[in-house]
Amino acid sequence: MEDQVPGVGSNRKAWRRHVVICSLYEFFHRLFYNR
């Protein structure tokens, strides 16, 4: 329900969390792939 409410603050926080998760996922993916 919070995602449907347009808000710059919450939107930025969600985007930041998305970027962090994506970078972590890519990091672990490379780590296991280069093994």
Question: What's the average model confidence in pLDDT over 1-16?
Answer: 70
- Token pair 């995602």: residue: 3
All structural domains of the chain with their residue ranges: 9-33
Query: Has residue 5 got a pLDDT over 60?
Result: no
Buried b (16+ CB within 10 A) or exposed e, 9-25: eeeeeeeeeeeeeeeee
Q: In this predicted structure, what is the pLDDT of residue 12?
A: 85
Tokens of residue 7, six digits:
């808000």
Residue 7 pLDDT greater than 90, yes or no: no
What is the model's pLDDT at position 22?
96
